[in-house]
């Protein structure tokens, strides 16, 4: 683009922006709601709530028979007369899991799917200048035609994310394409020299008309690097799609945690009328591939994938998360040194994806097709309504996350069992749909089965539980040898994990009953250490995932502490405690935040005066002090420093581990001398 053309297009953009900057108004609609159940005699009995909201306090408390049924929300709002002549929409960022909206007594629409956004145009339902009554019926009952139909994550009922009222001009970027922004930045070719892309824009109006769509790409400093426009013919209220190609040279690519650089792509709709529309999306330009010999490639270079899974669920609020809570969860990930995160089964809070874009974490986003956990689960009913709903939800997930550079792969299924109806044909159709809607991203799956199901997606991650459900952790090396002989043509990653309660401590170190009540923290740590020792640095895997980052609500679980929590996380459900295994991974994955942490410090009551002392650190060495006496310096191996057969005395002992200015301290009590317990 020549200098004169740049000046002219910049002036054009400035003129358009000055006309349309206030054309779209977004109003938060979280306040003023009343909630009540279906057996309330009148709406007067409703409890006043602010959204987001869930009624499932019993599920958060771990009641396995938590209420699953209908809940109702009502709100009254004055719609200004000044909005007449424009168009009015309502957008729900999530309603779990089937919802129906009524406005002034008229049915507006139904949505099936719990954690994705959706929007309705309500222009023809609104009384401008008067009171409007919004009535939202939400149902979280188990259904065989709305995914997920299996798994152990709680199905919290309610309007669990924000609600907005949006006012636009008559001609606008569509808000009703599966809850998306109506703008899709399609990356055609991305290299260090040039970006070639298209902006697909969905435009709709209320009458036959010609409008102009202007696409502007600006760097992080606001400098325009590309601008193109196209005329769009509108036909009544039908949505028209236009693809506007653009390109620019010398791009600064989005490079994950190394350099997560973002651009702003703005779309302005200019029509004859003074009020039009403008939408801006933040995105980054990158290409993601997998090399034939294993590694994941980001912009042509191998990228180290150190991953965990993160369920959007917390002990006090369930799925109802504000931006502060999301940011705090994100800090757990970055502190540990995670470079990739899998979002299992449901979508996370929108702010989470913004943070991943901004700080460079790769995202694997699951579709809601997940396998059985409980005996009575039927994970694949196979009915036409089930298939249609799964396809619709997956399409919505793709469209809503399309512009996020952090999202690099779609998880087609997770832990599907090959019993009953064969799901492979349906999985293949989901995979084809994902490739058709978004050819720029890889598809993947979490699998614990053999057979043809593993050959559908581009990638696969093996979900292993050696040493937890059966066997010992070192069995992973036997599997690895067999895999290398028979399956090394499959682009694979490995996921593993074990449950743990920070309150379960003891002398014996052996595999517990995974469906029993005793889940010792020491065993979880031991299992993670063993897996990592055998898998770290193996070039035939494109990634390693250390299971769940956080414990999450699973009211059907009565094992572990028996409080309805999946305790396989590295951080407790209430976010108060990082388990020991968290610090093991921090020592290996985060070289930038120096620390030392004494392992097994919650094992305070011991029964032998001879103890092995260990600590995790990302420093090269550390020194041990017992009761103020220096014992010796140990070199770190895989983030671990250790001292064997250290003599403690009966009663209280103070243990310190120091590395220059860093130190950690623990107090343990030896109640009486006895034999030491060794790992066999």
* Selection from 95, 223, 121, 107 nearest residue 173 by Cα: 121
pLDDT at 20 (0 to 100): 35
At residue 38, the pLDDT reads 79
Assign 168 to helix, strand or coil: strand
- What three-state secondary structure class fits 121? strand
Give pLDDT < 50 ranges for the chain. Answer: 1-22, 674-680
Strand partners, 197: 187, 246
Q: At what angle do helices 475-486 and 521-535 cross, to 10 degrees?
A: 30
Nearby residues of 365 by Cβ (< 8 Å), 6 or more positions away: 343, 347, 397, 401, 407, 409, 410, 411
**389-to-197, 236, 367 alpha-carbon distances in Å:** 31, 29, 11
Q: For the packed helices 580-589 and 323-336, what is the interaxial angle rounded to 10 degrees? A: 60
The strand pair at 610-617 and 596-598 is best described as antiparallel
CB atoms within 10 A of CB 477: 14
Name the DSSP letter for residue 346: S
User: Residue 191 to residues 67, 561, 588: CA-CA distances in angstroms?
Assistant: 53, 52, 32
What tokens does 363 get? 């995202």
10: DSSP letter = H
pLDDT of res. 675: 46
Kindly list the strands in the beta sheet with 301-303, ordered across the sheet, starting from the edge strand earlier in the chain.
Answer: 288-290, 296-298, 301-303
CB-CB neighbours of 53 under 10 Å: 21
CA angle 141/147/150 to nearest 5° reads 80
CB 207 within 8 A of CB 234: yes
Q: What is the pLDDT of residue 273?
A: 59
Q: Nearest CA to 196 among 241, 242, 251? A: 251
């Amino acid at each position: 683009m020549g200098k004169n053309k740049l000046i002219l297009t910049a002036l054009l953009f400035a003129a358009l922006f000055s006309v349309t900057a206030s054309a779209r108004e977004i109003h938060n609609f979280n306040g003023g709601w009343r909630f009540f159940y279906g057996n309330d005699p009148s709406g007067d009995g409703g409890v006043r709530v602010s959204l987001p909201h869930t009624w499932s306090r019993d599920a958060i408390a771990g009641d396995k028979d938590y209420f699953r049924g209908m809940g109702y929300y009502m709100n009254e709002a004055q719609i200004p007369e000044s909005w007449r002549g424009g168009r009015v929409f309502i957008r729900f960022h999530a309603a779990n899991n089937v919802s129906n909206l009524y406005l002034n007594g008229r049915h507006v629409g139904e949505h099936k799917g719990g954690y994705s956004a959706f929007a309705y145009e309500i222009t023809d339902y609104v009384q401008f200048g008067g009171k409007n009554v919004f009535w939202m019926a939400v149902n979280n009952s188990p259904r065989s035609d709305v995914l997920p139909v299996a798994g152990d994550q709680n199905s919290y009922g309610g309007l669990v994310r924000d609600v907005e009222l949006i006012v636009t001009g008559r001609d606008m970027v569509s808000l009703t394409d599966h809850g998306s922004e109506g703008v899709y930045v399609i990356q055609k070719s991305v290299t260090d020299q040039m970006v070639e892309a298209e902006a697909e824009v969905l435009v709709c109006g209320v009458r036959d008309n010609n409008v102009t769509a202007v696409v502007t790409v600006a760097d992080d400093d606001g400098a325009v690097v590309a601008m193109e426009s196209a005329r769009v013919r509108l036909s009544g209220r039908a949505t028209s799609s236009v693809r506007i190609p653009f390109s620019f040279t010398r791009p600064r690519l989005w490079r994950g945690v190394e350099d997560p650089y973002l651009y702003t792509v703005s779309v302005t709709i200019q029509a004859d009328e003074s009020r039009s529309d403008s939408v801006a999306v933040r995105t980054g330009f990158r290409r993601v591939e997998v090399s034939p010999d294993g590694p994941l490639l980001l912009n042509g270079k191998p990228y180290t994938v150190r991953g965990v899974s993160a369920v959007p669920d917390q002990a006090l609020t369930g799925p109802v998360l504000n931006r502060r809570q999301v940011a705090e969860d994100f800090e757990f990930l970055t502190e540990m040194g995670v470079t990739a995160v899998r979002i299992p089964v449901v979508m996370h809070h929108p702010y989470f994806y913004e943070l991943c874009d901004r700080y460079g974490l790769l995202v694997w986003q699951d579709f809601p097709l997940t396998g059985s956990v409980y005996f009575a689960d039927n994970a694949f009913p196979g009915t036409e309504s089930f298939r249609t709903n799964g396809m619709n939800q997956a399409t919505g997930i793709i469209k809503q996350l399309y512009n996020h550079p952090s999202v690099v792969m779609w998880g087609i299924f997770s832990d599907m069992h090959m019993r009953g109806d064969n799901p492979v044909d349906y999985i293949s159709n989901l995979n084809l749909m994902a490739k058709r809607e978004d050819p720029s991203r890889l598809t993947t799956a979490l699998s614990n089965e053999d057979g043809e199901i593993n050959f559908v997606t581009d990638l696969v991650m093996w979900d292993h539980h050696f040493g937890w459900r059966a066997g010992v952790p070192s069995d992973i090396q036997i599997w690895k040898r067999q895999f290398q002989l028979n399956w090394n043509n499959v682009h694979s990653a490995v996921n593993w994990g074990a449950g743990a309660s920070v309150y379960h401590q003891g002398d014996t170190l052996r595999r517990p009953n995974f469906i029993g009540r005793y889940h010792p923290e020491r065993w979880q740590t031991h299992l993670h250490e063993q897996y990592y020792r055998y898998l770290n640095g193996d070039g035939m895997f494109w990634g390693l995932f250390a299971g769940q980052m956080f414990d999450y609500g699973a009211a059907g679980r009565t094992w572990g502490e028996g409080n309805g929590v999946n305790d396989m996380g590295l951080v407790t459900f209430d976010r108060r405690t990082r388990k020991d295994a968290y610090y093991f991974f921090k020592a290996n994955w985060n070289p930038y935040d120096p620390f030392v942490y004494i392992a097994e410090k919650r094992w305070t009551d011991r029964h032998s005066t001879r103890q092995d002392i260990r600590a995790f650190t990302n420093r090269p060495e550390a020194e041990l002090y017992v009761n103020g006496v220096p014992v010796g310096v140990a070199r770190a191996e895989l983030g671990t420093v250790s001292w064997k057969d250290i003599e403690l005395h009966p009663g209280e002992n103070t243990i310190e581990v120091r590395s220059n200015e860093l130190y950690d301290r623990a107090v343990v009590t030896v109640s009486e001398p006895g034999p030491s317990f060794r790992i066999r």
